[in-house]
Structure 1
């Protein structure tokens, strides 16, 4: 069977797509187990998995030496090979997690839990407001202590602060006195509370200055184009900049299960890439040209939002989805997604098990597997093929993240699922037009104002749904003020 553009639906057998699924699940399971136990026990888990991998390899070799292997023997060898790979990568994951937990326990900040110390650090992301006041700043501590007691050791932590810490671009190097707080759970790094204003010891590079300038301009554009809460909601949805959103509105979005919309994920990149593909197709650009344009749009998205770790992860998974849309194949992109997940899980276990990364992977996997079939079913005589393709991308990516939100607690409350379904049509509109306004603002503010103003109906709907759902019985309480 061939679709309208001549590509065959049978080009990508589903069986090939699942080769890395079991190893990927094994990595996640081993990482979770190793993070919940002591380092010695985690190392023991790794040893058991390594032995199991060796047994599976020997068993597979033994089957291969039998006369007349046949189809059954080939299937057995394939199953054993997958089992061996799953156990091997699981062993590596358990070992990496054990080493991470051991290194965390030996970090000098741990010795200062409950006390005070000086730190030298670099800001790794933009600050976000917290419910109790002040901001939460992601930093990478490089030196703990001062003078002869200073010890070099890197650790990514969250710093809670008030005066002087808001608005520091990523890449800014600072020095301050901090209180080291108790970790929320075993295996997690401690949080810091600033006891002094930051002393800037090094300015940010252009990778921090450019996104900071874009954020400041989008705030100006939003204030000109929108009124009320909408003026603060647009930067929040597009750039994760919640500084202009009132505490009550943030609480309403959390209570309704919509707070995740303020986090940049793979879904955001999907919407942006889909819009670029649609625009390029409307201009008559060929397939290769559309893919190039979408790649440029993806790179521009990273430049506008900022090269924070979450943004780079979202862009990486979005690039795989872009490859799937361009090739109309699911085998290679899905295998590439599995390889990326395995690599991230092995190099950075805490990131791989975080809700943000899982959201990005879920959106991209759904795009690779389901966007094409859904688009084919959505096509009608009155609907252009490119419109159906982009609508399918947006719907599939959004719906695929709902189970992850429910499981992670980000979609808290009994009404989170219907709330997310209700706002599904508005989210891509705000993301695409808002991102375009953010990119256009530094060079043509008046044009950016027009794009931001076009987001007003969608922002009103998002705010209305959040307020309505937050007031329903069973939703978490919202404290006014």
Structure 2
């Protein structure tokens, strides 16, 4: 009697032959194609992007034809060619979208006024950030260019450089001012603006701008009560991206040491916050559904505290997917969800999708999806609870995954950036979790928020010390005196 023919080996995720996981991963290659095509076309002229779209369309047609012909001979070849055809097709769509955006940008009235002065009506879209020399840069959406009979409508997101009167404007504030239109920093980007006068506010912000602004104001007061020296300004910077209280010297040290990225809200921030909530819920015996509800509420609270800016919403989305991977039985679905987010953001906002901040969030989240669970199993010890190992794995994987991007982008400039980032890795989650809790608690119970902020003092001291030491080592970029 012969043994029955062996069936397909069970997949690690529990699916025969791994087919469900394979289906979940089919979106990854087209997403990579869209991202790469957009990165290539974003700095190209509209004609070049359109030509790329035509070439990719032809390649998709050829691959689809070959796929149909290979179907009778090899199912594997047919599927591979089908995926290739899909990747080329969505790449063609991305190139076409970028060609249309490039054409629209070239036709915007601001582009015709580079080097000239004009009046604008705009909406503040994010919180201001300090720049060297005492000014600030404010993200705005220009809606009207010119005044009186010469006014022309057309929306364009730009960065406005300003001084007096522009600090502290909440997102959603509508303003009028006179500006000088500046050359774009690189091809494919919109021009910049330099304010020539203080803003004239024509309409105040809605609650989505007022609430985060109030939280920021109270958190600055809490930090000043709880901490001394540079630490009182560093805490709002790390938690909310509010760098207004950080001295120019300290900002330069963090840039020179490759730690400046810590002041930007990313998917890692949401991962730490939601991970701490999951850890606390698991420690108190809350079930799986209860932990998911708690994590969702923590994520919504994080967005409300930091502010619903586009960068924060994208960070929340990628961070949520990363945490979902820890509880998932297989990595395919979270990875497919991440690919879908990248695909949508790349098609809707190519400039943001190819920016360093978004790439950092995506890389960190992809690494969490793929490696967080194996690393958690590696670091787990008999004396270590499982949730603690999970959160520790999140910290390790997120930091190691983003370091190459930081080096390649120049944010981790200098030979000491890598060891500096590794050295501060244990302190970053402490500051993020306790600081976010303090920021959320501040409007309700200021004394309690002061206690939580004071608990961040050792971690902040370590961050400041590492930045100062690394910035002073041989080979680090020279810090220019203010």
- Common fold: TM-score over 0.5: yes
Q: Please, which moves more after superposition, 412-421 or 21-30? A: 21-30
Is structure 2 residue 283 aligned with structure 1 residue 282? yes
Q: Please, which moves more after superposition, 23-32 or 73-82? A: 23-32
Q: Which residue of 2 aligns with 1:297?
A: 298
Q: How does 1:300-315 map to 2 (within 5 A)?
A: 300-315=301-316
CA contact (8 A) 1:131 1:247 kept: yes
Q: Which residue of 1 aligns with 2:49?
A: 42
Q: How does 1:135-174 map to 2 (within 5 A)?
A: 135-174=136-175
Q: How many Å apart are 1:263 and its aligned residue?
A: 0.1
Q: How does 1:370-385 map to 2 (within 5 A)?
A: 370-385=371-386
- Give 3-state SS (helix, strand or coil) of 1:449's partner: helix
The normalised TM-score by structure 1 is: 0.95
Q: How many Å apart are 1:82 and its aligned residue?
A: 1.0
CA contact (8 A) 2:215 2:440 kept: yes
- Give 3-state SS (helix, strand or coil) of 2:77's partner: helix
Q: Which residue of 2 aligns with 1:10?
A: 13
Q: Which residue of 1 aligns with 2:196?
A: 195
Q: Which residue of 2 aligns with 1:224?
A: 225
Q: Please, which moves more after superposition, 222-231 or 398-407? A: 398-407
User: Can you give the 5+ residue segments of structure 1 that lack an aligned partner in the other structure?
Assistant: 1-7
Separation (CA, whole Å) in 1 of partners of 2:390 and 2:440 = 25
Separation (CA, whole Å) in 2 of partners of 1:197 and 1:10 = 59
Separation (CA, whole Å) in 1 of partners of 2:325 and 2:260 = 29
Separation (CA, whole Å) in 1 of partners of 2:255 and 2:226 = 26
Q: Which residue of 2 aligns with 1:423?
A: 424
Separation (CA, whole Å) in 1 of partners of 2:448 and 2:81 = 60
Separation (CA, whole Å) in 2 of partners of 1:11 and 1:239 = 41
Separation (CA, whole Å) in 2 of partners of 1:228 and 1:19 = 52
Separation (CA, whole Å) in 1 of partners of 2:277 and 2:317 = 17
Is structure 2 residue 118 aligned with structure 1 residue 117? yes
Separation (CA, whole Å) in 1 of partners of 2:427 and 2:369 = 23
Is structure 2 residue 60 aligned with structure 1 residue 59? no
- Give 3-state SS (helix, strand or coil) of 1:19's partner: coil
Q: How many Å apart are 1:242 and its aligned residue?
A: 0.3
- Give 3-state SS (helix, strand or coil) of 2:202's partner: strand
Q: Please, which moves more after superposition, 345-354 or 452-461? A: 345-354
Q: How many Å apart are 1:326 and its aligned residue?
A: 3.0
Q: Which residue of 1 aligns with 2:6?
A: none
Q: How many Å apart are 1:62 and its aligned residue?
A: 1.8
Aligned residues: CA RMSD: 1.3
Separation (CA, whole Å) in 1 of partners of 2:353 and 2:185 = 19
CA contact (8 A) 1:328 1:372 kept: no
Q: Which residue of 2 aligns with 1:3?
A: none
CA distances 1:387-446 after superposition (whole Å, capped 9, x unpaired): 111111111112111111111111111111111000000000000000000000000000
The normalised TM-score by structure 2 is: 0.95
Q: Which residue of 2 aligns with 1:5?
A: none
Q: How does 1:300-339 map to 2 (within 5 A)?
A: 300-339=301-340
Separation (CA, whole Å) in 2 of partners of 1:36 and 1:266 = 26
Separation (CA, whole Å) in 1 of partners of 2:155 and 2:13 = 49
Q: How many Å apart are 1:17 and its aligned residue?
A: 5.4
Separation (CA, whole Å) in 1 of partners of 2:68 and 2:235 = 59
Separation (CA, whole Å) in 1 of partners of 2:423 and 2:29 = 34
Q: How many Å apart are 1:461 and its aligned residue?
A: 0.3
Q: How many Å apart are 1:367 and its aligned residue?
A: 1.1
- Give 3-state SS (helix, strand or coil) of 2:412's partner: coil
Q: Which residue of 2 aligns with 1:25?
A: 32
CA contact (8 A) 1:294 1:322 kept: no
- Give 3-state SS (helix, strand or coil) of 2:235's partner: helix
CA contact (8 A) 2:13 2:329 kept: no
CA contact (8 A) 2:13 2:330 kept: no
